[in-house]
């Protein structure tokens, strides 16, 4: 039997009794001087930190990323600098809208967040299991997320809020189509792909840059639940995907993903058919064939969920030399939001929490103090810059090449040739199988049943614009007037909203 150590209080005092509180007499009231009890209750009272405002329910694991192709002509990132090079990784998968105790099998996009502990600092690829998103301007994000959470009055999830917003936001149709297909209910976290969704920038040591998108393709194969199976799983095991990830890794069955990149030169981007900074669009593979670049393997479970998974803080602005952002407005909005929310959720020194520390680099700067500063806080070294004592200094070679900008500041709408319906239609017509389409329609009908008429009509017109058959099948299923749906589809969005306002 292992040797037992004496239990101690938070301040190291040996504990004599951890079962009976100190009382005045056998049946008397508690004594204030039971400092052990007070410390224990006080700590318990503060055990919860705010859950993530989105992606609250998740599971994480450690592993590595290995480079399998030479990409040095595209990026100077050190962790991508040679074939065979391995970098430590922490991954977290999640659902989006549900609370920390919600079911893993809910219909929702899945978060696919990776932290690469590179020698040039942490690089975070904070993506989803879908290549697109519902909106393309960060100003709409809080509103969109409110529709995925609970109704302020009933405290219930509300399909009406969701479809009201989507039917008034036609650029959502591509992601809505993926969400209501069976890819909206992946069978496990291991059986889904991960996408950057956004366009990022890679730049090489000559200062040349490229626009890129990341696709982590599951080596376990895509597997999804249909709507009925997902509902069933929500009741049977609300933690099924968390359990699956943990058990697979514990049993030595390590999940892996193959990283494929789509890469465009700035010249190609100039004449590209789609706005490459519009996150509601993909780059068709026929136009930009993905190239295989590396392998992600997860092979170690965290030992403490709170310390390592709950306190993990991903951030799209954690970038390394050789990787930059694009002007994608959503991405630009995210550059603010993650650091800001971590300050609120975890505190100003969240980057000192072990899972968030740059393990293969160091924090070497002049930032000091703040709540929970628990390292040596720079000891006696200078805490200002410039100074003539320090042994650390910035090095210009780490700066990103300059970015030319020549535009007037304004609140611009997306006007680039940008049909919002074509790609959703291509997915429905050309990529989905008959069975995929049947599932999609069944899932939509199940979800839209109780939604007010004007919302059903507006949304069916949007389905119709993506694909006639798609619109007609949903309209038929909802017993709508097909002629009216067709007429609404021929109107502009503003006309459609006005025409349905009183229904």
> What residues are labeled active site?
55, 128
The C-alpha atoms of residue 326 and residue 345 are separated, in whole angstroms, by 27
Q: Is 129 in the site for ligand NDP (CB under 6 A)?
A: no
Q: Is 174 in the site for ligand HEM (CB under 6 A)?
A: no
Q: Is 245 in the site for ligand HEM (CB under 6 A)?
A: no
The C-alpha atoms of residue 309 and residue 49 are separated, in whole angstroms, by 13
The answer to whether the CB of 299 falls within 8 A of the CB of 64 is yes
Q: Which residues, other chains included, contact 222 with Cβ-Cβ below 8 Å and sequence gap of 6+?
A: 183, 186, 191, 192, 193
Contact pattern from residue 60 through residue 99 relative to ligand HEM, giving x for each residue in contact according to CB under 6 A and a dash for the rest: --------------------------------x-x-----
Between 141-148 and 159-167, two packed helices, what is the crossing angle to 10 degrees?
150
Binding partner of 258, given ligand NDP, ligand HEM, none, CB within 5-8 angstroms per partner class: none
Contact region for ligand NDP (CB under 6 A) — 107-115, 324-332, 394-402, 423-431?
423-431
Please give the structure tokens belonging to residue 317. 């602005």
Q: Is 337 in the site for ligand HEM (CB under 6 A)?
A: yes
Q: Is 347 in the site for ligand HEM (CB under 6 A)?
A: no
User: CB of 145: closest distance to ligand HEM in angstroms?
Assistant: 8
Q: Give the three-state DSSP class for 256.
A: strand
Q: Is 298 in the site for ligand NDP (CB under 6 A)?
A: no
User: CB of 313: closest distance to ligand HEM in angstroms?
Assistant: 5
DSSP state of 151: -
Closest CA to 147 of 167, 132, 165: 165
Binding-site member from 35, 138, 226, 359 for ligand HEM (CB under 6 A):
138
The answer to whether the CB of 104 falls within 8 A of the CB of 95 is yes
- Other beta carbons less than 10 A from residue 4's beta carbon: 6
Q: Is 127 in the site for ligand HEM (CB under 6 A)?
A: yes
* Cβ distance to ligand NDP smaller for residue 137 or 436: 436
Largest CA distance in the chain: 86
Please give the structure tokens belonging to residue 471. 């619109």
Q: Is 187 in the site for ligand NDP (CB under 6 A)?
A: no
User: CB of 177: closest distance to ligand NDP in angstroms?
Assistant: 7
User: CB of 312: closest distance to ligand HEM in angstroms?
Assistant: 6
CB neighbour burial string for 63-80, b if at least 16 within 10 angstroms, e if fewer: bbbbbeeebeebbbbbbb
The C-alpha atoms of residue 98 and residue 296 are separated, in whole angstroms, by 27
Binding partner of 432, given ligand NDP, ligand HEM, none, CB within 5-8 angstroms per partner class: ligand NDP
Binding-site member from 97, 98, 111, 227 for ligand HEM (CB under 6 A):
111
Strand residue runs (E) in 223-279 = 256-264
Q: Is 190 in the site for ligand HEM (CB under 6 A)?
A: no
Binding partner of 54, given ligand NDP, ligand HEM, none, CB within 5-8 angstroms per partner class: ligand HEM
CB neighbour burial string for 216-227, b if at least 16 within 10 angstroms, e if fewer: bbbebeeebbbb
The C-alpha atoms of residue 133 and residue 174 are separated, in whole angstroms, by 8
For the segment 254-283, give every residue that binds ligand NDP (CB under 6 A). 282-283
Give the binding site for ligand NDP (CB under 6 A). 131, 178, 181, 183, 193, 217, 222, 282-286, 423, 426-427, 431-432, 436
Give the binding site for ligand HEM (CB under 6 A). 52-55, 58, 92, 94, 111, 113, 126-128, 133, 138, 141, 197, 312-314, 330, 333-334, 337-338, 341-342, 345
């Amino acid at each position: 039997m292992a040797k037992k150590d004496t239990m101690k209080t938070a301040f190291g005092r040996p504990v004599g009794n951890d079962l009976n509180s100190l009382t005045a007499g056998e049946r008397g009231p508690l004594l204030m001087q039971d400092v052990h009890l007070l410390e224990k209750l006080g700590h318990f009272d503060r055990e919860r930190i705010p859950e993530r405002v989105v992606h609250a329910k998740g599971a994480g694991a450690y592993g590595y990323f290995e480079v399998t192709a030479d990409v040095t002509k595209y990026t100077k990132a050190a962790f991508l600098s040679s074939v065979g090079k391995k970098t430590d990784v922490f991954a977290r998968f999640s659902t989006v809208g549900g609370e920390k105790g919600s079911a893993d099998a809910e219909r929702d996009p899945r978060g696919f967040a990776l932290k690469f502990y590179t020698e040039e600092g942490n690089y975070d690829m904070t993506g989803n299991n879908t290549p697109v998103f519902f909106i393309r301007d960060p100003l709409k994000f809080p509103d969109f997320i409110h529709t995925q959470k609970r109704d302020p009055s009933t405290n219930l999830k509300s399909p009406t809020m969701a479809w009201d917003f989507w039917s008034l936001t036609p650029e959502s149709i591509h992601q809505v189509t993926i969400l209501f297909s069976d890819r909206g209910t992946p069978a496990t976290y291991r059986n889904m792909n991960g996408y950057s969704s956004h366009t990022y920038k890679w730049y090489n040591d000559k200062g040349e840059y490229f626009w890129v998108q990341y696709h982590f393709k599951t080596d376990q194969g895509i597997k999804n639940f249909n709507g009925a199976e997902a509902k069933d799983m929500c009741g049977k095991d609300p933690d099924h995907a968390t359990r699956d990830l943990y058990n697979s890794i514990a049993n030595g069955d390590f999940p892996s993903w193959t990283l494929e990149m789509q890469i465009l030169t700035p010249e190609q981007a100039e004449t590209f058919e789609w706005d490459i900074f519009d996150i509601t669009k993909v780059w068709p593979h026929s136009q930009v064939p993905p190239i295989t670049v590396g392998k992600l393997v997860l092979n170690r479970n965290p030992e403490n969920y709170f310390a390592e998974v709950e306190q993990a803080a991903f951030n799209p602005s954690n970038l390394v030399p050789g990787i930059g952002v694009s002007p994608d407005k959503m991405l630009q909005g995210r550059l603010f939001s993650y650091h800001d929310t971590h300050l609120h959720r975890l505190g100003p020194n969240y980057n000192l929490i072990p899972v968030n520390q740059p393990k293969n680099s160091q924090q070497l700067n002049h930032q000091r103090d703040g709540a929970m500063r628990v390292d040596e806080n720079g000891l006696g070294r200078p805490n200002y810059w410039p100074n003539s004592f320090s042994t650390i200094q910035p090095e210009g070679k780490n700066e990103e090449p300059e970015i030319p900008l020549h535009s007037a500041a304004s609140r611009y709408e997306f006007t680039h040739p940008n049909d919002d319906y074509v790609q959703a239609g291509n997915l429905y017509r050309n990529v989905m199988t008959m069975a995929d389409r049947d599932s999609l329609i069944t899932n939509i009908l199940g979800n839209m049943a109780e939604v007010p008429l004007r919302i059903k009509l507006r949304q069916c017109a949007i389905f119709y614009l993506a694909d006639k058959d798609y619109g007609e099948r949903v309209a038929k299923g909802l017993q709508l007037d097909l002629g009216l749906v067709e007429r609404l589809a021929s109107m502009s969005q503003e006309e459609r909203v006005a025409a349905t306002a009183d229904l």
